[in-house]
Amino acid sequence: MLHIESLNQFYGESHTLWDINVTIPQGVCLCLMGRNGMGKTTLLKTLMGLLPAKSGQILFEGEQLLHYPADIRPKLGIAYVPQGREIFPQLTVEENLHIGLMAGKEKFKEIPEKIFQLFPVLKQMLKRRGGDLSGGQQQQLAIGRALAFNPKLLILDEPTEGIQPNIVREIGDIICHLNQDEGMTVLLVEQKLPFARRVAQEFCILDKGRAVSSGKMTELNDDMIQNYLTV
C-alpha cells in the first residue's frame, strides 16, 4: 500500500534521512522505532508533504505522493496524527472533529457515530474547548479527528507520549481494533516497546537517519533492542 524508496531529506545542509526504504503492505501495522533524534518524525513529515524530499519516491497505492501538495493526502485516504497532537485549543471538540471531516474527499456533513463509539468521552465533551481537555483526551480527539473521514492509512506519531496508562491502554485497544478487525493500515512511531509489540506486526528501526533493521515484530531481538533502542 505504501512504498518508500531511496528517500533522502535535508534540513538545509544537514543530511537527515539517508536512502530510506520502507514498505507497508495493506492491512499491516508497522512501527517505526529508534531513539530520539533518529529521524522518525522527519520521515513522517516528509511522507505527509510537510517537509520537502531531496530525492526518492513515496508511492501510495501506486501514486507518487511527492508530486502532490500536503492537503491531497487526506483526499487519498491518508490520516496523520502529529506528535504533540496539534488540536485547535480554542475550538470546541465538535469544531475540531468537523475540521477532520472536511479534510477528506467526500463531504460528510455529520461526524460519524463510529468516532463516538471509539471515544465516548468526545461525545460528552462536544461543546468543550479542545484546550480544556486533559492530555489523554486531547490525544483521543486528535485520533478521532484523523478518523473522521474514514482513512485507509492511519499515521500516528508517538500517540502515547505523556499520557496516563489507562488511556494508553485504550488507545492501544483502538489501534488493534482498527487494524485487526477493520483492516486499516497503520504506520506508528512509538518508543514504548510493550505497546509497539502489542499493536504492530512489523517494525523498522531508524538510526541516525538510516533504516538499519526491519522485519516481523516477532523477529525484534535483544541485540537490536540493545544496539538501537535502549537509552
Ligand X SMILES: Nc1ncnc2c1ncn2[C@@H]1O[C@H](COP(=O)(O)OP(=O)(O)OP(=O)(O)O)[C@@H](O)[C@H]1O
Residues in contact with ligand X by CB under 6 A are 11, 14, 16, 34, 36-42, 83
Q: CA dist 171 to 8, 131, 161, 195, 231, Å?
A: 32, 20, 11, 10, 25
Asked if residues 39 and 209 have their Cβ atoms less than 8 Å apart, the reply is: yes
Nearest Cα neighbor of 79 from 25, 2, 14 is: 2
C-alpha cell at 176: 488493534
Q: Considering the complex, what minimum distance in angstroms separates the CB of residue 205 from ligand X?
A: 11
Rounded Cα–Cα distance for residues 156 and 158 (Å): 6
Judged by beta carbon, residue 96 or residue 138, the one nearer ligand X is: 138
Q: CA dist 118 to 83, 97, 105, 164, 213, Å?
A: 21, 13, 22, 18, 33
Judged by beta carbon, residue 122 or residue 196, the one nearer ligand X is: 196
Q: Considering the complex, what minimum distance in angstroms separates the CB of residue 188 from ligand X?
A: 13
DSSP secondary structure of 81-94: E-TT----TTSBHH
Q: Considering the complex, what minimum distance in angstroms separates the CB of residue 193 from ligand X?
A: 14
Judged by beta carbon, residue 36 or residue 166, the one nearer ligand X is: 36
Q: Considering the complex, what minimum distance in angstroms separates the CB of residue 230 from ligand X?
A: 14
CA angle 193, 196, 199 (to 5 degrees): 150
Judged by beta carbon, residue 148 or residue 199, the one nearer ligand X is: 199
Judged by beta carbon, residue 77 or residue 209, the one nearer ligand X is: 209
Q: Considering the complex, what minimum distance in angstroms separates the CB of residue 38 from ligand X?
A: 4
